[in-house]
Amino acid sequence: MTLNATIARVTDRIRERSLSSRAAYLSKIARAAEEGPRRAHLSCGNQAHAYAAMPDKEDMATTRKPNIGVVTAYNDMLSAHQPYERYPDLIRQAAHAAGATAQVAGGVPAMCDGVTQGRAGMELSLFSRDVIALASGVALSHDTFDAALYLGVCDKIVPGLIIAAATFGHIPAVFVPAGPMPSGLPNDEKSKVRNQFATGEVGRDALMAAEMASYHAPGTCTFYGTANTNQMLMEFMGLHLPGSSFVNPNTPLRDALTVAAVARAAGITRLGNEYLPAGEVLDERAFVNGIVGLMSTGGSTNLVLHLPAMARAAGVLLDLEDFHDLSESVPLMARVYPNGLADVNHFHAAGGLGYMIGQLLEAGLLHPDVKTITGGGLDSYSQEPKLRDGRIEWVEGARDTLNDKILRPAGNPFAPIGGLKQLAGNLGRGVIKVSAVAPERHVIEAPARIFADQEEVKAAFKRGEFTSDTVVVVRFQGPSANGMPELHSLTPTLSVLQDRGLRVALVTDGRMSGASGKVPAAIHISPEAANGGPLARLRDGDIVRLDAVAGTLECLAEDFANREAMQYDPATASEGMGRELFRAFRAHVSAATEGAAVVV
């Protein structure tokens, strides 16, 4: 199939924009690779330190076996990462069977946005991505690894690991998932109880019972938020093994896929004939394929922040216009909560990523000729793994959807576009996800209510102050202000107002969760208010027009451009829950449109 004209045009635009930065990057990783296996350049003392705890240390010092470094985000307070507890032993055994060795090079922090929603700790969440990249850099700095396995799933973890994999782009990289927990309480029932709690219809005991029935086992949360969007992305970008993203933890197939990932990492080092440095996988075509996956699945808006930062680490420069243009040309093929009633287990059973990739390739909406860890192009990702006699075989995946309420073909999608829109106007630039927003709510024009944080919004709701159409503006929530926390705890409040018949919208320089849904939300507004951005000039009662159809975000007040900006008080985000430690991050972070990053 001929490549779609928009896909080709956007890819060429990214390639041209990135010409010098990508060339410099490729030159850098080529220089790093030229010296050959890195261990050969270590002194005997260096090597003795590196191998002292290994049972086969003498073998390591005298042979050319590949040595695989494992960077793990394991902890046992994140359900998605708890399964990684078993992985090091499994990986070491698999490496030995593959004629290699493996060492845990280091751990990276992995915080749970589900625990910190609405709390001070959420103000560290976005910056944890950069900390993860830094920690991975420390892990790999020992210069003893021929390939790396990255173990991570959730919101900031995978993007941080990608930044590290790109930075160490001369080292082959394989990403190893852990899988989603089995289905529990349906997500729409959980959401219903949350809304009932917000209105006082049920008590905390009912809310707690619903939450515990939803989040109930090891594995990723089953809704299609940022964590599962990350897993999708790794397949579309060729960094997972095909069909591995949504296999449940602690199952024979899951373990077999992990063993296969280790064998593949051992097979693509510079010591063999299939050397595949991570930096060559992470080119502009891979990032375009990732964005196509984001649009076609209705994925998390958080990736609009993460992808530019990830790409920049590989010398590839993305812009909001790239997301917008690709969204306009890519059909929405999946309905997974919050964009539908299904969870990721239902999605996987209906044909999953293999079906989608096959469909998108046939429609010319993906680059087929990319480098992937399989050694082939993206067409290998239309296959699915089967466990036969204890070994993995990849067979042809679903060619027809097995449930058209969850998954549809590219030629008969749920919507003709991906549902992510760029917004621009006198209030700045931002994005809105409309895939779950009713068409009659794509344009909201109403008086603004200005708030400094989400707790003020919830307090006003409890006082009964929202009685008419309102654009809720929560400002001073950008990366330079307080680290750009998610404002997901506003979702039940705003949903209740909308269900009461009010026309409401959210406008913020902060983030919404990857699970945000039916309320129109203009997010990531840049320049942010703390840096004198236009949101700092808004006043209560200003008429704000959010138009997702035209792609505009405007304050209609005649004197708006001539007002003085309200000043941000940094003391509000300066201490408590470790926020003191991140002053330098807030002072040096880039704009949201560039990925809100510190290290790239």
Q: CA end-to-end span of the chain, whole Å?
A: 36
Q: Determine if residue 44 is labeled as part of a ligand binding site.
A: no
Beta-carbon contacts of residue 2 (< 8 Å; ≥ 6 apart):
364
Q: Which two tokens stand for residue 132?
A: 């993860």
Using the predicted structure, report yes or no on whether residue 35 has a pLDDT greater than 80: no
For the chain, give the number of residues: 600
Which of 52-56, 110-114, 325-329 has the least mean pLDDT?
A: 52-56
CA distance 312 to 167: 10
Cis amide linkage into residue 186, ω under 30° from 0: no
What is the mean predicted confidence (pLDDT) over 43-53?
Answer: 79
Q: Which two tokens stand for residue 505?
A: 């919208």
Per DSSP bridges, beta strands 443-451 and 543-547 are antiparallel
Q: Which two tokens stand for residue 474?
A: 């929560």
What's the pLDDT tens digit per position in 203-260? 988 888 888 888 889 999 998 989 999 999 999 999 999 999 999 999 999 999 999 9
Number of H helices, E strands in the chain: 22, 14
What is the mean predicted confidence (pLDDT) over 542-564?
Answer: 96
Q: Which residue has the higher pLDDT, 206 or 310?
A: 310
Q: For residue 130, is it left (φ>0), alpha (ψ between -120 and 50) or beta?
A: alpha
pLDDT score for 14: 98
CA distance 444 to 545: 6
pLDDT score for 38: 65
The confidence band for 419, taking pLDDT boundaries of 50, 70 and 90, is confident
CATH code of 420-594, in short, is 3.50.30.80
DSSP assignments along 185-246, one per residue:
S-HHHHHHHHHHHHTTSS-HHHHHHHHHHHS-SSSB-SSSSHHHHHHHHHHHTT-SPTT-TT
Q: In what order do the strands lie in the sheet with 67-72?
A: 101-107, 67-72, 147-151, 173-176
CA distance 180 to 81: 10
DSSP 182: P
pLDDT score for 61: 65
Q: Which residue has the higher pLDDT, 390 or 311?
A: 311
pLDDT score for 36: 64
Question: Domain residue spans in the chain?
Answer: 5-182+217-396, 420-594
Instruction: Tell me the pTM.
Output: 0.94
Beta-carbon contacts of residue 423 (< 8 Å; ≥ 6 apart):
429, 430, 431, 432, 522, 546, 548, 551, 552, 553
The confidence band for 515, taking pLDDT boundaries of 50, 70 and 90, is low
Average model confidence (pLDDT) for the chain?
Answer: 93
Q: Determine if residue 154 is labeled as part of a ligand binding site.
A: yes
